Amino acid sequence: MLREGGLVAFPTETVYGLGGNALDATAAARIFAAKGRPQDNPLIAHIADIAMLDELCYDIPDIARKIAARFWPGPLTMALPKREIVPDTVTAGLRTVGIRYPAHPVAQELIRAAGVPIAAPSANRSGKPSPTAFAHVLEDMDGRIEGIVDGGDADVGVESTFIEFVNGKVRILRPGYITPEDLAEVVGTENVEIDPAVLRGIGADEQPRSPGMKYRHYAPSAPVIAVLGENAACARAILRGVRGKAGAAAILCDEYAHLMPCTTVQVGRYGDYAAQAQRLFDALRELDRPEISVIYAQCPDDRGVGLAVANRLKRAAGFHVIEARRMLVLGLTGSTGAGKGLVSQALREQGAVIIDCDRVYHEMLASDEALLSDLRENFPAAFADGGFDRKALGRIVFGDEAQLARLNAVTHPHIRRKIAELLKNLEAGGTACAVIDAPTLFESGADADCDFVIGVTAEPALRKSRIMERDGLTEEYAALRIEAGKPDAWYREKCDFMIENNHAPGEAISAALDIYNTCSI
């Protein structure tokens, strides 16, 4: 089939390739058509002995030969000056052609049997994840090509490391199973460069070194968010992302997968980059379903083969990457008299550090110059005697919604700034869990600083008697305070967890501990 200009997909150790005769411009054109591939994105040629390299390329630098001797056959492709015999259609007009000598025995036998080098991009429809299984190829290519050779699942799972040679150095245009560290062993660390586009997106006005860098790739139809960080921190960030979201899905390492309340694909143990490489594309394909609305995916760091996995994942995510924080931050809010203090005390006993926002605010009123100067500007009457008069400010806003809204607009950003500062210090000091305790957590926007928010409510009658007892208020006044607050339904809608404190305090405390255990992965 190949000799007659047909297209045959075949297994390699990296991913399946969509093969056609690399010396036949018509076959190459059919490859572009079958994949739906942009015309300016060149194909790579697969060979099955070193003599074929010299038939296709010239001016081969010594370091290329050294690298070939070390890593071929294997998951590495080199761009080298092409001879006339390689049609321009294959290289999309470039003067170099990518050459790969795959290690897979079926690929080698196929190339030898065909007797020609085989041009083969990954055997996926353009934009989809590369195929690592026979079923993937069938899904994308059935009816578009002459045949598929079934070789089982690919071992490596991400495409070959793609390198070019610039001024005697090796530049990595696409990371793969052969790592920068591996290449450095042959040519020295000082002679290995990683193209900047490997680590970040390509700007619209930038000219990529490799045409493939500029295309959206590997992406399922739902948006992907890559989550970077330590294992437990990633799991928590993913849990935060997927909780309560219809159609949310997760791709993550084995250890915390069982905690996810959503469709979840496991990709091997944390730090096992090879396993993650092998499973990533299959995971992305599995989650390419209409009912999936968003995919949170744990992203490895850039060490070893992690670089290749992170590169594919970040591209699948369109470089939407979030950093998972080590410290757990809980928000705590609720209606007055519901028993927020009880929960806060229970969390403190678990070792959490409580940021009491009422107290923070009062301390700031005493000493925070930036806040005081904004207050002076907006409420000069509260500074009638020169100094700040809290009672005077209270009189201005009491019962006046517009003034109260104005006060909140002034104070909330300052409180947010202070909370951010406190969280930063706690994180730096190694605190495992911080709790932002604020009656107006949502109104101030501080819920955005939290991983999860706990709301505490109780029956109004209970709350009334609690406030009367706690604050020594009359019944009418307590009722007014309750009426001024938000209804329970409001908390239920906004909070991640609710504690209904209608019974013995012990029940609320044990509910708080359950929530704490769920969140503190």
Tell me, what amino acid is at 92? A
* Helix 475-484 vs helix 460-471: crossing angle, to nearest 10: 120
Considering only 118-126, 258-266, 306-314, 509-517, which stretch makes contact with ligand TXA by CB under 6 A?
118-126
Report, in Å, the least distance between residue 217 CB and Mg ion. Answer: 7
In contact, 410 and 416? CB cutoff 8 Å: no
CB atoms within 10 A of CB 459: 13
Q: Are 280 and 313 in contact (CB under 8 A)?
A: yes
Assess 132 for contact with Mg ion (CB under 5 A). no
98 binds, among ligand TXA, Mg ion, none (CB under 5 to 8 A by kind): ligand TXA
Out of ligand TXA, Mg ion, none, what residue 15 binds, judged by CB under 5 to 8 A for its kind, is ligand TXA
Q: Does 132 bind ligand TXA (CB under 6 A)?
A: no
Position among 73, 74, 117, 121 found at the interface with ligand TXA (CB under 6 A)? 121
Q: How far is the CB of 267 from ligand TXA (least distance, A)?
A: 19
Among 122, 231, 266, 336, binds ligand TXA (CB under 6 A): 122
14 touches ligand TXA (CB under 6 A): yes
Under rule CB under 6 A, residue 89 binds ligand TXA = no
Q: State the minimum distance, in angstroms, from the CB of residue 494 to Mg ion.
A: 44
Nearest to 521 by CA among 433, 444, 462, 440: 433
Residue 118 is a binding residue for ligand TXA (CB under 6 A): no
Q: Which of 176, 187, 248 is nearest to 212 (CA)?
A: 176
C-alpha neighbours within 13 Å on the C-beta side of residue 414: 21
**15-54 positions binding ligand TXA, by CB under 6 A:** 15, 17, 41-44
**Site for ligand TXA contains 77 (CB under 6 A):** yes
Closest CA to 15 of 112, 117, 113, 141: 141
**122 part of the interface to Mg ion, by CB under 5 A:** yes
> Locate tokens 């598929």: which residue?
148
Residue 162 is a binding residue for ligand TXA (CB under 6 A): yes
**Nearest residue (CB) to ligand TXA, 281 versus 296:** 281
Shortest gap between Cβ of 12 and ligand TXA (angstroms)? 5
Name which position in 159, 193, 368, 496 contacts ligand TXA (CB under 6 A). 159
Q: Which residues, 6 or more positions from 425, have their beta carbon under 8 angstroms from its beta carbon?
A: none
User: Is 179 an interacting residue with respect to ligand TXA (CB under 6 A)?
Assistant: no
Q: Which of the listed partners (Mg ion, ligand TXA, none) does 501 bind, with a CB threshold of 5 to 8 Å by partner kind?
A: none
| Closest separation in Å from C-beta 106 to Mg ion | 19
By the 8 A CB rule, do 60 and 66 touch? Answer: no
Q: What's the Cα-to-Cα distance from 150 to each of 14, 135, 209, 248, 347, rounded to whole Å?
A: 14, 9, 33, 33, 56
**Count of residues touching ligand TXA (by CB under 6 A):** 26
Out of 94, 186, 232, 321, point to the residue binding ligand TXA (CB under 6 A): 94
What's the burial of 37, exposed, middle or buried (CB within 10 Å: 0-12/13-18/19+)?
Answer: buried
Binding flag, residue 311, Mg ion (CB under 5 A)? no
Rounded alpha-carbon distances, angstroms, from residue 188 to 19, 26, 140: 34, 41, 41
79 contacts ligand TXA (rule: CB under 6 A): yes
Q: Does 14 bind Mg ion (CB under 5 A)?
A: no
What is the distance between the alpha carbons of residues 61 and 298, in angstroms, rounded to a whole number?
A: 39
Is 278 a residue that touches ligand TXA (CB under 6 A)? no
Under rule CB under 6 A, residue 74 binds ligand TXA: no
Nearest residue to ligand TXA, using CB? 212
CB distance 179 to 170 below 8 Å: no
Q: Are 79 and 163 within 8 A, CB to CB?
A: yes
Which stretches of the chain bind ligand TXA, using CB under 6 A?
A: 12, 14-15, 17, 41-44, 77, 79, 91, 94, 96-98, 100, 120-122, 159-160, 162, 173, 210-212
